[in-house]
Each structure stands twice: as C-alpha cells, then as structure tokens.
Structure 1
Amino acid sequence: MPPVRASFARRLREVSERQLMVAAQRDVCGRYGTAPPPPPRGVDRFWQRVYVPVYHRLPWKLRATVMRAMPGSHRRTWHRPDEGSGPAV
C-alpha cells in the first residue's frame, strides 16, 4: 500500500511548527551559551528570515483566527463523557 500524502494544510502546519521550534532553540541556545542548531539552508532560510519574524509580530488574536481557520487536530474537541446510571462499584 503506498504512503498517504499529507494535505497541503497539514504539511504547512508541520513545516511552520518545525521552523518555530528551531527559532526557539536558537533563542534558548543564545541565552545559555550552548551550540545553536545548524544555520538554515535552502527554503529553510525563507522560513527563518521571513516567516518566523512575521509570525512573532502578528497579534495573538490574528494568529488564533488563522489557526482556527486551518484544518487539523487543533480543531478537535473533547466529547462529553457518558453519564453513569448507577454506582461505579
């Protein structure tokens, strides 16, 4: 069976989460004087030099609106637990 391809929205979310994590690691490494992750190459340069700074400058309300608009696991809600009909024991 061939592997299932991720949807565009899922792939976009995975890449953006990864790039935000790498940027956070770089910040923490700078704060504590440890070795940072390797410098970005290729398309990762766009993500690190354009996407991450723009993301951090956006107001939270706008970020939350965009996240809610995209499909993904963050839109799942908890179901209401079944009500018991008697004692548990």
Structure 2
Amino acid sequence: MAPARVSFARRLREVSEHQLLIAAQRKVAARYGTAPPLPPRGVDRFWQQVYVPAYHHLPWTLRATVMRAMPGSHRRTWHQPERGSGPAV
C-alpha cells in the first residue's frame, strides 16, 4: 500500500514543529546540564541555524498572522453556537 501524499503546508508545519522541538530540547539540556540531542546535519543544519533563530526573533503578532495564512489544522476556529429557536422543553 502506497503512503498517502502530504500537502506542502502540512509537511512544512511538521518539519517546523520538529525543529523547534529540537531547539527547545537543546535549550533545556543546556540549562540542566544534560546531554542535548545530536548536532544537526544536512538540511537540519539550515533549520537550526537559520529558521529557529529567525522564528524566535519575529514578534508574536507576525508569527500568528503567518500561521493563520497557512492552510492546516491551526486555522480552525470555534464556530458560533446555534441560537435556540424556542423553549428547551
């Protein structure tokens, strides 16, 4: 059975979340003096040395705007509850 194709936006979000998680693990490991994850290689190096610092330097309002503009589950918002049309009984 062939694996299902994942959209570009979904893949970008997955990789972004994973790389931000690795960066957070490194930060916590440094704080508590434990072994950090292995150093990045290849494409991961770009994410860790360019994307993560750039992400952390952007103001939250800009990050939130970009996230809302990207397709994916993070764009789902709560819908307005339906108004009742009469008594409940």
What's the TM-score once normalised by structure 1's chain length? 0.87
Cα separation, 2, equivalents of 1:70 and 1:77:
14
Which residue is equivalent to 1:51?
Answer: 51
Q: Give the C-alpha shift of residue 13 in structure 1.
A: 0.4
Query: 1:7-39 deviations in whole A, cap 9, x for unaligned?
Result: 000000000000000000000000000110000
Which residue is equivalent to 2:22?
Answer: 22
Which residue is equivalent to 2:65?
Answer: 65
Cα separation, 2, equivalents of 1:41 and 1:9:
23
Q: What percent identity do the matched residue pairs reach?
A: 76
**Structure 2 unaligned blocks of 5 or more:** none
Q: Give the C-alpha shift of residue 78 in structure 1.
A: 3.1
- Do the aligned partners of residues 77 and 46 (structure 1) sit closer, same or farther apart at CA in structure 2, a change above 3 Å counting? same
Which residue is equivalent to 2:88?
Answer: 85
The amino acid across from 1:41 in the alignment is R
What secondary structure sits across from 1:48 in the alignment? helix
Q: Give the C-alpha shift of residue 82 in structure 1.
A: 8.7
What secondary structure sits across from 1:10 in the alignment? helix
Count of matched residue positions in the alignment of Structure 1 and Structure 2: 86
